[in-house]
Structure 1
């Protein structure tokens, strides 16, 4: 750009970077670049002048990249100015968000920028254009943004005015958010044809829209939505179709349950008399609605059926009257024949459950007198709800009547999903009701329960947490298994929702198996500081002290969490293995006496160390920069090559040290190498869903861009030519080119690295291909001078040639560098077509056009000389 308006070498380099899709500015927000440019008004004027008169391809590339930055910055003024140059079109812009493409209006809607969205639409952007799985602009305007952020109705209305199509999912969202204003706006644009198709859709979330609307909206809006649906649907002449009949039966039931009399009246015209929703109407408590349905001929004694959105067993009008405590209505239903078939299983189940739920002992006795021979399984749901609600007398009544205590599945009866598949005894123990617990145990309750092989709280574990020694002894005498593990109440939810970013907490806590949140009875006893119970479980019933040694729920870890030195010593005396990761993780974090006690016990039992043990405590010490603690662990011969989870990776000590201290503190790394860390072994393994990736110490060091660290490892024997295979995705030279370290790349080449090393079969690339994708012109020049093959084929699995990579990532000048390297011969037609297609797909139209011209003229220089970064 000599002889151009930008005389500063920094400004020229910056403009060069922008033209090459912000090459060399990885990690720098595009908006920060705009802020810098905006500080100098003269610079801005010169910039716009240059865009109108500068080299065609450079200016086009700059405009394409700057307008993406302007959209990210929500700078509508700059977006308008750039569009006015004619170098870019609103529909030709492609933005990248987390590696995925989206159209310009998609991105502006995602950012909730009204002014940028308007500028794009005025300039001709298609309001319906959408890439990938982001959803259309309207959906992004409705759903995106912070969770607590309200929908910007002005942006929504703008998109609707320009023809954005309302989908059923948009209406569902508005209904679920109870956003009346949004719902009205969307419904105003929901076409009759869509309404008809909506009622015929097969997806559950679409089919359930009317249910959602009735369940969440007020009566007026729900009636408006259903009215529009019905008008559109029945205008088509297929109003009798089974699909609509099923939906309307559900709709009237929901409306009746919410007491929406007007909506029920509207729907009565389309519902057979046999489907009148009397039970939901009784649940609503609306007497006028109940009378209306009775006048219409609603049956008071229908077969029991599910109520939408209700977790109780199937219901009947009588059961709902009992549940509502409406004795007058109960008598009315009885007079109308509601008890005529009460002995039938579904009707009886619904009535007895409702009586148990509201603790109506008198009516429960009446039902049991009518049906004295009812099966025990029919009484189990009622027993479960009575214990849950603390209705002790009711529960004892049902037990005396023969309720089955060994029924515990996810579903009991029709429609009842029990909490966590609990057995009756577990419910009583959770309530800590000794009377009911003993009563259930006396009925022959199985004391070792499981749910399809899924562990959950055992009766013994609940009794231990309760601390009821009498119940514990009784359970043990009945054969309770002492090492049955159970769930720690609430821990999983707290872990998922916690904002705790403590480094020690994250070590070994990623990719948690559900069993990570399990504990045994002896652990619960330790948590309760109950030494007598620990002794009973271990000495008399042989409970193991060494389960979950790599998790937080081991007995030793529980003692350390309690800061109970006496209990820790007692467990070690009883035979607890001090090689317990979870115990050391807590001990080293706390330090002091507990750590010393545990470490002393470890050294006594394992004087030569224990192979494979030590990854977690070593990682914690390294991350905390605790050299004193690290020295103690190394002196105890903890295995420096053992791994620990860290984020999405498993790292050994050397891998952790390189990531934590490789840019500034090499003393810990030297210490680990002296302690036996193998510089040629894998130090990092990621834990992906599909593609395994392994890294050596040298690859980790190259990621830091610290040449001194790389030299340290090479001097210690690290292999500079290890091939990219068997899970290793890069050679050292390839990785240096990928991260953009010219200094390290030159060092490796001087050490004999092969500039044309073979790429990994899957996810691989040559050194030249990697640096062309990133736009590192200086490295590309060095590689080409060292003999890099500009025509190296694309790797076998989803790879890119150097030309394709540069085009796909918008590296304009890299295209010239590569073309020059062919001595004017260029590339084959297939590769050129592919590169142009990739460039166009990512919105790099200047790159596409340049490749086309290069193909036609054979050679063209964008600038007299390339810039080196």
Structure 2
């Protein structure tokens, strides 16, 4: 085809509208009613400005229904002959649904019924131009008015335009197919698609075909296939996929057959998934898989596929017949496309309980030793093979690391285990090359401990016969990864409490002294101690197990501690009689002691008996070393147990024993924090230091702890006993008593502290700066509270406040009401304190006020002198004007402009937008016009990361009218894109499927060598994102020679 004539043929066939007549455009005119006060008069652009001697057309939905009647312009054979007119053919319910769908189509971000039809119609303005706008607006108005015989025709016109510009969702397209079917309007669709052939119709047909296939409407599918719809085109606004993929996903088999018979690609991959992948994942998949295979589907996907192979999927679903079919079709049983999943055999060992699938795979020569976690393929080693990198994520690939026989054993598939043994599977395959963190993440619990050998699995499942068989086959009885991870078979037998297995393993030479595994392991004796039945424990003691064997390095416990925690009185007696140390080094057990575990026992009678045994055995009531261990008294207070607390104090426990290692609080501080007045009184009576200093890290004095939790009775009790209000706060993350009261918004406590120490705020520079900010975070904060703090000397100015801290006034704006903000402003709060935050967001009070859309706060701050042009947050944020523009808040925009806002303030380097870029990207037509009229520069450069110029933003979102407006205002069509994640205007339109906008930009662009390069770049992006028709259109696009 002659390139110079391509565009004419493509767009002009079937044209009835005069698209060259843009002079009638409503470009800057409001749809109805009075003129928008922000709409500035701008000269109407001439068509030659945008289509310089070009193809003389616009790439719009070139189907004119302006004179449509039920039979107008349609083939006679397609017209109904039942004598009823259109209005009678379509029920009122469907007409009402057309109205609802039209509203949703035009305003998808608003709930139906919240906007008038005029508001909804305004959504057409930024995305249409010229006669297209006039025609679509007229049709939309007709839909929203009284029921009309042409509703479906009008709705189709809207759908064609929006669909061809990627502005119509899959859900709405599905609804359109349903409406056509329920109104029996297939003949109208047939006439429609026969009336023209162009790129617009091509895109619409492919989108409609995908929805018809998904819904299962074979009639629509047949019509579209016959009309030449692209069978392999992608559809969808976000997740783009093909008609065949959608038919298979929705199990629409007849539609899938029609597509395949018509030539749809049975191997087309979308996001790493072929049609065969989808089919294999469905129930009763045999028929549809056979269908795909009949049309050439490959059973072995390419290696760059991100999914499981079809065979792996079939095995995972335990579909025996499907597995057989795929293997008969030469599916590779050893293929895998990702090392994060197991082979088909590994998957079968995990899922199949009847061994039939495993037998099929073995007959097909499945490799019993392949482990993708270690080997990506036979030539390329997986990083895990020679690395102990602790940062590798082993959670996702644990199955692929394990040998098939272990997987089978782990899942109690003992028939499979036996089958694999017969096939020569290694009974002692090692997991030693796994990173150490793997074993920590896969430690299991003591009821179902993780196993790493088939023997361990057999013991855990208490399969005595299988245990004997594995031992006979040569299973190493004490084997475990690296000799230190997990549990030995004997330790597991002790955990499950099976005497026969213990005796068998001991007779076979199991090491009763094997140390506990690194992560949460237990020796055989320690594992035995958890049972209330002490027979297992007796066996271990009789066999000479070390009663004081060291605990595991991580989460370890001694045998005595385990018995105590289990509430086993008899076990505790046996261990103590065997010489168990009652006070082992708590540093080896994360601060846990036997006495601590006893205090936590819920059954009071058992607790008292075990406490008696431990105390009689000489258990220390004090900490054994250092000031920061978890002593029994700490546990008693933490548990809120007054009886045990009193008993420990009588036994000699010191009320001033120091800080708990976990809470960093003394017993009195902890009791005060919990508001336990009874315990506070008990500890004070026993001599607890009411002013014991706070721990240097996150510590609290007793008074600080009580005030911070607003325990008023405890605060008063502590004050009665001489607590100091001005006690020093902790060096790191500390808080004073007055700050704690402010944090809680407790006016009662603030008044109490100020009455006793009037200068408690003014004499403390830190409190002076902090109390206002702390009070603002409380839901109880009000103006009287702030006035009380201010009278006490609090500083509202924030002069010495760090830039890393949120400004006081910004906090008030974000969390408080207008009167709180007014109170702080009147007190001299810094209006322009700038927050140097590391994350995206507002950094000044004014920006926060604009963000909240609170015009009263905005006006107050501006009138008091807030900097209207404070720069945007460098890590992602907006100036006040940019924020207002992003919200299309014209009232606040006008207010900011009145106070001198810079319409061209620089955007944030990270995904920032100028005000004009915000408005243009968002489709805010009147605001864009207003900003341009007030000096906004259309060529402000894009932000460094993810930014756009105004033209790029409008093009990306398909705002064609704004594109025209910007071009007329001098926007550079070749404006530089963002350095990172940027797109040119033409590329952005192509990548996002904005056909009409793209064609406008192509026609406007001068015919230069650079143009050809940009066109090819855009085509590549369009094709990569599934916009095949647009990609082809770009590759075939040629300018007339007169433009050169």
TM-score, normalised to structure 1's length? Answer: 0.70
Q: How does 1:8-157 map to 2 (within 5 A)?
A: 9-10=136-137, 22=163, 29=169, 31-32=171-172, 35=175, 46=188, 48-54=190-196, 56-67=198-209, 74=215, 76-77=217-218, 80=221, 83-84=224-225, 86-97=227-238, 101-106=240-245, 120-132=259-271, 135-136=273-274, 153=283
- Measured against aligned partners, the alpha-carbon deviations of 1:840-860 in whole angstroms (never above 9, x if no partner) come to 333434434444454164589
Q: Secondary structure at the match of 1:693?
A: coil
What is the 5 A alignment of 1:466-865? 466-467=639-640, 474=654, 477-478=657-658, 480=660, 484=664, 527=709, 529=711, 531=715, 544=729, 556=741, 577=767, 579=770, 584=775, 587-588=778-779, 590=780, 596-597=784-785, 600-601=788-789, 604-610=792-798, 626-632=817-823, 634-635=825-826, 649-650=841-842, 652-661=844-853, 666-682=855-871, 692-724=875-907, 726-727=909-910, 729-822=912-1005, 828-855=1011-1038, 857-858=1040-1041
Change in CA separation of 1:646 and 1:106 when aligned onto 2, cut-off 3 Å:
farther
Structure 1 position 262 matched with structure 2 position 389: no
Question: What residue in structure 2 maps to residue 503 of structure 1?
Answer: none
Structure with the bigger RCO (C-alpha within 8 Å, sep 6+) is 2
Change (3 A) 1:88 1:620: farther
SS at structure 2 position matched to 1:376: coil
> Is 2:577 aligned against 1:386?
no
Q: CA deviation at 1:302?
A: 2.6
Q: 1:183 to 1:392 in 2, by over 3 A?
A: farther
Report the counterpart of residue 358 of structure 2 in structure 1: 226
Contact 1:51 1:85 in 2 (8 A): no
Match of 1:376 among 550, 556, 559: 550
- Assess if the C-alpha contact under 8 Å between 1:95 and 1:104 holds in 2: no
- CA distance, structure 2, for counterparts of residue 156 and residue 460 of structure 1: 68
Q: Provide the C-alpha distance between the structure 2 equivalents of 1:624 and 1:547, rounded to a whole number of angstroms.
A: 26
| Partner SS for 2:232 | helix
* CA radius of gyration, larger in: 2
Aligned residue number for residue 158 of structure 1 = 288
Cα shift readout 1:528-557 (whole Å, capped 9, x = no counterpart): 94549977998699684797689xxx9558
Contact 1:323 1:354 in 2 (8 A): yes
Alignment partners' CA distance in 2, 1:599 and 1:139: 68
Partner SS state of residue 936, structure 2:
coil
Q: 1:570 to 1:170 in 2, by over 3 A?
A: farther
C-alpha change, 1:279 and 1:183, in structure 2 (3 Å) is: same
Measured after TM superposition, the shift of residue 652 of structure 1 is: 4.8
Deviations along 1:97-149, one digit per CA (max 9) or x if unpaired, are: 2xx6544545566667667656554544334433446x45566688xxxxxxx
Matching residue within 344, 347, 357 for 2:530? 357
- Alignment partner of 1:281 is 2:458: yes
The residue matched to 2:940 in structure 1 has which SS?
coil
Contact 1:733–1:748 at 8 Å: present in 2 too? yes
Q: Which of these residues, 260, 284, 305, is aligned with residue 480 of structure 2?
A: 305
Q: Please, what TM-score do these two structures have when normalized by structure 2?
A: 0.60
Q: Check the 8 A contact 1:730/1:760 in 2, yes or no.
A: yes
Q: Distance in 1 between matches of 2:626 and 2:254?
A: 67
Q: How many Å apart are 1:351 and its aligned residue?
A: 1.9
TM-fit CA distance, 1:701: 1.0
CA shift in 2, pair 1:65/1:556, >3 Å: farther
**Unpaired segments of 5 or more residues in structure 2?**
1-14, 18-62, 67-134, 141-154, 301-306, 379-398, 430-452, 667-697, 762-766
Q: 1:799 to 1:366 in 2, by over 3 A?
A: closer
More helix by share: 1
Cα shift at 1:352: 0.8
Superposed CA deviations along residues 597-644 of structure 1, whole A, max 9, x for unmatched, are 466335633243435699699778767894455545555566665669
Partner-residue secondary structure (3-state), 2:563: helix
Kindly indicate whether the alpha-carbon contact (under 8 Å) linking 2:797 and 2:830 is maintained by their aligned counterparts in 1. yes
Q: Which residue of 2 is the match for residue 401 of structure 1? A: 580
- Alpha-carbon RMSD across the aligned residues, in angstroms, is 5.6
- Partner SS state of residue 878, structure 2: strand
- The 3 A distance-change label for structure 1 pair 538 and 331 is farther
Partner of 2:6: none
Please list the CA deviations of residues 342-367 of structure 1 after superposition, one character each: whole Å capped at 9, or x if unmatched. 34547996421221122455654664
Q: Number of paired residues?
A: 765
For 1:274 and 1:346, the matched residues in 2 are separated by: 20
Aligned pair in 2 of structure 1 residues 609, 37: CA closer, same or farther (>3 Å)? Answer: farther
Higher mean C-alpha deviation, range 727-736 or range 423-432? 423-432
CA distance in structure 2 between the partners assigned to 1:83 and 1:30 by the alignment: 17
- CA 1:600–1:332: 2 relative to 1, 3 Å: same
Give the Cα–Cα distance (whole angstroms) in 1 for the partners of residues 773 and 286 of structure 2: 51
Aligned to 1:418: none
* Contact persistence 1:31–1:70 (CA under 8 A): no
Determine if contact 1:407/1:424 at 8 Å carries over to the other structure. Answer: yes
1:765–1:373 CA distance, 2 compared to 1 (3 A): closer
Deviation at 1:323, TM superposition (A): 3.9
In 1, distance between residues paired with 2:970 and 2:1011? 20
Runs (5+) with no aligned partner, structure 1:
143-150, 413-420, 450-456, 487-517, 686-691, 861-869
Structure 1 residues 559 and 423: CA distance shift in structure 2, 3 A: farther
With over 3 angstroms needed to count, the CA separation of the structure-2 counterparts of 1:261 and 1:608, relative to structure 1, is: closer
- Aligned-pair CA distance for 1:721: 1.7
Judged with a 3 Å threshold, the aligned counterparts in structure 2 of structure 1 residues 757 and 39 are, in CA distance, closer, same or farther, namely same
Distance 1:849 1:277 in 2: 58
1:206 to 330, 336, 342: 342
User: In the alignment, which of 420, 427, 448 is matched to residue 628 of structure 2?
Assistant: 448
Q: Give, in angstroms, the shift of residue 713 of structure 1.
A: 0.9
Question: For residues 832 and 201 of structure 1, do their structure 2 counterparts lie closer, same or farther at Cα, with a shift above 3 Å needed?
Answer: closer
Offset of 1:777 from its aligned partner?
Answer: 2.4
Structure 1: distance between partners of 2:479 and 2:959: 72
Alpha carbons 1:447, 1:475 under 8 Å: kept = no
Change (3 A) 1:161 1:768: same
Offset, 1:757? 2.5
**Residues 540-587 of structure 1: CA distance to partner in whole angstroms, max 9, x if unpaired?**
99684797689xxx9558856xx8955995699796948368954663
